[in-house]
Amino acid sequence: DTGVSQDPRHKITKRGQNVTFRCDPISEHNRLYWYRQTLGQGPEFLTYFQNEAQLEKSRLLSDRFSAERPKGSFSTLEIQRTEQGDSAMYLCASSPTTGSLIYEQYFGPGTRLTVT
């Protein structure tokens, strides 16, 4: 399967702990996105990478959040000092830069975070 993969699929952590999520995009895609989705809401944009460069960050991405994409391949999203409000599904997506459907994003299955 060559789709977008995310690890772990589920994470339960205690408030105040740090967590890190990994996303492996489709190999030929050089754009990578992170979203957060809470129950009953659509995904909210967090940040976006073009290769290894982080080009845009949402105001939702507080100082406790950091994302990296070393070497332009996989990406990690770290949340420091987790809070109960961080409980959500974290989605990763990737897209190519060429092709007729330029805005099509391929989403991974998500990582569900529960902060207790």
Amino acid at 26: I
Specify the residue, 13 or 58, whose C-beta has the smaller distance to another protein: 58
Interactions with another protein, residue window 59-78 (CB under 8 A): none
Pairing status of strand 111-115 against strand 10-13: parallel
The 8-class DSSP code of residue 70 comes to: G
What length does the chain have?
Answer: 116
Residue 25 touches another protein, criterion: CB under 8 A: no
The total of other beta-carbon atoms located within 10 Å of residue 47's CB is: 21
Residue 109 touches another protein, criterion: CB under 8 A: yes
Give the footprint of another protein on this chain (CB under 8 A).
Answer: 4, 31, 33, 35, 40-45, 48, 55-56, 58, 89, 91-93, 95, 97, 101-110, 112
